[in-house]
Amino acid sequence: MKFAGKVWKLLVGVKDALVLIFMLLFFGALYGALSISPYRDSAREGALKLNLAGAIVEQPAPQDPLDLLGGGSATREFRLSEVIHAIDTAAGDDRIKAVALDLDIFTGGGQSAIANVGEALDRLRRSGKRVVAYANGYGDDGYQLAAHADEIWLDPLGAVVIAGPGGTNLYYAGLMERLGITANVYRVGTFKSAVEPYTRNDMSPEARAANQAVANALWETWQQDVARARPRAQLAAYVQDPARFIQAANGDMARAALQAGLVDRIGDRTDFGRRMAELAGAGNEKIPGSYQAVHLDAWIDEHPASNANGEIGILTVAGLIVDGEAALGTAGAETIVKNIERALTGNRLRALVVRVDSPGGSVMASERIRRALLEVRQRDIPVVVSFGSVAASGGYWIATAGDTIFAEPSTMTGSIGVFGVLPSFEGTLERLGVGADGVRTTPLSGEPDLLRGPSPAADQLLQLGVESTYRRFIGLVARARKLPPTRVNEIAQGRVWDGGTARQLGLVDRFGSLDDAVAEAARRAGIDPAQARPVFLEPEPGFLAWMLSGASSSESTAARDPFAGLAEQPEALIARALHDVRTLLRGPAIQARCLECPMPAPVPPVRGHESWLARLFAMVSGR
C-alpha cells in the first residue's frame, strides 16, 4: 500500500507539473499575441506602399480566417475611405517621402471610387510628394488610377489595353425553354430590363438605348478624368487604333504605350524599386530593388479613418440588399438597422451619412432600412446620402429618406422600377414524365404553384402587388425630390441614369464625394467640418481577424499577365450567371433591383431566409 501511495503521489505531481507548464505556455502565448502587431515588418518612414492587390470597395467582405491561415487568395478588398484617408494623412506627414502605387494585381473598383482615389493622389502631389505607379499591364481601372501618378512604369513585356464600358450579358430564355422552365414575370416600367435575361435571348431596343446612353456617359467621364490627369497621353488615338501604334513600335506593346505617351518608363520590378529607393531611401541592400516602405495596412492602423468617439456616423449600404442579417459587403436589412440602433443608444450621434453602393434588391429590406432612417430624422439628426459607383433601384429607395443626396458624374443611379420573377417547372416535369396534382379550398390554395405554374388568380395578385409597389416607389421619390408624380413616372420606368443626367433630372442634389457628404452633415449638425470626426456604424473586427489581417496584408509580388483581366471576363460572366440563378431561386418574389448595374460578388445564403428551392438547387449543383 505504501508503494501504491507513492506512485499515486508521483502521478499527481506529474499532473500538477503538466498543468502548470500548460498554463505558463498559454499565458505566455496570450501575452505575445496581445503585444505583437501584424504589421511589425513595416517601416516607419519612406514610401507609402499602396500595393492594391485586389479591388477597392465601399465595405470589404470578411475574409475567412482559415483561408488566411492556409495562404488564401493573392487578392483582397480595400475600403475606399481608408485608402483615401491614408493618402491624405500621408500628404501632411514628413515621414512619407513618396507613394509607390503597385497596380500589378489590381482588379479594379467602381469608376467613381477610382476617381476619388485619383483626386486624393492629386492632393498628395500638390503637397510636393511624388507618386510612381507600376504594373505588368494596365486595363481601364488600373490606367484611370495610374494616370494620376507623376511617373507610370510598365514592364517590358507589358501592355496598356483600354476597352471602355460595355460588354456582353447572358440571356437564358432558350436554355430555360430547353429545360422546360417557365419564367413567370411581373413587372412595371418600360426599361425594367432586369427580367429580360429570363424572357429573351437578346437585348430589347428599349434596354439597348438606355444602356448605350449610360455607357457613353461613363466613357466620356472616364476620358475626361484621364485627360485632365495626363494631358500628354495620345489616349483617343491609341484607343481607336492600338494596332497602329504597336506596328509602329515593331510589335513591342510596351514601347507603343511609351511612344503614345501613356507611360513614362519601361522597366521591371527591380528597376521600379531602384527608382523608389532614389525617392524614399534604400531598403535591404541584399535584395535588388528594395526600398524603404510603409505598408498601407500599417499606416491605416496608425491613422484609422473611423473614430470610435465620432459624432458623424457613416452607415454603409453596400452590395445586394437582402432581408434578414448578412455579413459585411452585403446589405442585410436587419444588420444595418441594428447598426443604426446601436449608434442611437450611445446618444453621441449628431449627424448620419448614408453611403450607398448597391444595385438594389429586396423591396421589403429596402423599406425596412428607409423607415429606420426616418426614425433617425425624427430625432432631429440630419441624414445626408452619398452615392458611390452604383445607387439604383432599392438603393435609391433607401435614399429617399435623406435630407440631401450627393453623387458623382459617373454614378449609376435611378432604375426606379419594380419586378418579380417566379420560375415554374411544369415543362420540366412533363418531359420527365412526372405528374403534379392536388386539391384546393380557395383560389390561392398551394399558390404560387411552381410545379404546375401559377394560377390566373396568383398571377393577377402578384402583378397587382408589383404595380402597387411601383406606385409607392413613385410616391416616395415624388415627395423626397419635390417633383410631381407624373414627372417622376416619366423619368422612372426602371431606366438607369448616369450621375450627371440624374442631377439634371433632379434625382440628386449635388456632386461630391463621401468627404463632401461628411462635411455637409457636419454643417447641418452645427459642427465645424474641419473638426468632424466620422465613425463607421458597423462592428469592429474581432481580435482573431485583426491578428490574421497581417497575413492578408503581406506584400504580394506575383506577376500578372497584361491580358489577364481580359482572360478573366468569361469566368466572371459564368459566375454572374450562377449568381443570377441562385438569386432567382432564393427570391424575394418582388424586387427593386438593377440588373444592368455592376453586381457585387456572389453572396452566401442569408441565414434563416433561404428558400427550399434554393437549397435544392444548391444540393443538385454541389454549391
Instruction: Give mean pLDDT, residues 449-468.
Output: 88
Rounded CA gap, 582 and 616, in Å?
10
Q: Do domains 46-180+208-302 and 312-545+570-621 have the same CATH topology?
A: yes
The CA dihedral of 588, 589, 594, 597, to the nearest 10 degrees, is 50
Classify domain 46-180+208-302 at the CATH topology level. 2-enoyl-CoA Hydratase; Chain A, domain 1 (3.90.226)
Q: What is the DSSP letter of 532?
A: -
Catalytic residue among 42, 366, 393, 410: 393
Question: Which 3 state secondary structure label does DSSP give 400?
Answer: coil
The set of cell numbers assigned to 501 is 443626367
Of the candidate CATH numbers 3.90.1170.50, 3.20.20.70, 3.90.226.10, 3.40.50.300, the domain formed by 312-545+570-621 belongs to 3.90.226.10
Q: Among 52-61, 205-214, 548-557, which stretch is predicted with the lowest mean pLDDT? A: 548-557
pLDDT band at residue 51 using 50, 70 and 90 as cut-offs = very high
Rounded CA gap, 226 and 83, in Å?
20
Q: How far is CA 126 from CA 92, 122, 318, in A?
A: 11, 6, 32
pLDDT at residue 16 tops 70: no
How many residues are present in the chain? 623
pLDDT digits (tens, 9 = 90+) for 494-508: 889 999 999 999 999
Instruction: Give mean pLDDT, residues 504-520.
Output: 95
Burial tier of 325 (Cβ tally within 10 Å: 0-12, 13-18, 19+):
middle
Q: Which long-range contacts (CB under 8 A, 24 or more apart) does 267-272 make?
A: 267/153, 267/154, 267/155, 267/156, 268/155, 268/156, 269/104, 269/134, 269/155, 269/557, 271/153, 272/100, 272/132, 272/134, 272/153
Which is more confident, 292 or 62? 292
pLDDT band at residue 168 using 50, 70 and 90 as cut-offs = confident
Spell out the residues 6+ positions from residue 506 whose beta carbon is closer than 8 angstroms to its own.
481, 483
The CA dihedral of 73, 79, 85, 89, to the nearest 10 degrees, is -10
Q: Among 56-60, 230-234, 425-429, 514-518, which stretch is predicted with the lowest mean pLDDT? A: 425-429
DSSP for 411-437 reads -EEE---EEEEEEE-HHHHHHHT----
Phi-psi region at 461: left, alpha or beta (left = phi > 0; alpha = psi -120 to 50): alpha
| Domain spans, the chain | 46-180+208-302, 312-545+570-621
pLDDT at residue 423 tops 60: yes
Q: Are 135 and 146 in contact (CB under 8 A)?
A: yes
Q: Among 142-151, 180-189, 487-496, which stretch is predicted with the lowest mean pLDDT? A: 180-189
pLDDT band at residue 420 using 50, 70 and 90 as cut-offs = confident
pLDDT digits (tens, 9 = 90+) for 142-166: 999 999 999 999 999 999 999 998 8
Q: Are 410 and 111 in contact (CB under 8 A)?
A: yes
The reply to whether 393 belongs to the active site is: yes
Identify the CA nearest to 576 among candidates 320, 345, 286: 320
The share of the chain scoring above pLDDT 90, in percent, equals 52
**What's the confidence (pLDDT) of residue 65?**
54
pLDDT band at residue 389 using 50, 70 and 90 as cut-offs = very high
Tell me the residue ranges of DSSP E strands in 127-178.
130-138, 151-160
Q: Among 64-68, 217-221, 459-463, which stretch is predicted with the lowest mean pLDDT? A: 64-68
Catalytic residue among 97, 192, 366, 410: 192
Q: How far is CA 51 from CA 125, 132, 583, in A?
A: 18, 12, 34
Q: Can you say whether the dihedral through the CA atoms of 392, 408, 90, 522 is positive or negative?
A: negative
Please count the CA atoms within 13 angstroms of the CA of 131 that sit on its side-chain side: 28
Rounded CA gap, 404 and 569, in Å?
37
**What's the confidence (pLDDT) of residue 607?**
41
DSSP for 179-195 reads HT-EEEEEEE-TT-GGG
pLDDT digits (tens, 9 = 90+) for 521-579: 999 999 999 999 999 998 765 545 545 455 444 455 555 666 665 555 555 666 666 66
The reply to whether 204 belongs to the active site is: no
Rounded CA gap, 259 and 413, in Å?
38
- How far is Cα of residue 283 from the mean position of the Cα atoms in its chain? 35
Please report, as a single letter, which amino acid is at residue 67.
D
The CA dihedral of 480, 482, 485, 487, to the nearest 10 degrees, is -120
Q: What is the DSSP letter of 40?
A: T
Q: How far is CA 528 from CA 190, 312, 385, 525, in A?
A: 46, 12, 19, 9
Which of the given ranges, 103-107, 230-234, 574-578, has the highest pLDDT on average?
230-234
Rounded CA gap, 485 and 493, in Å?
12
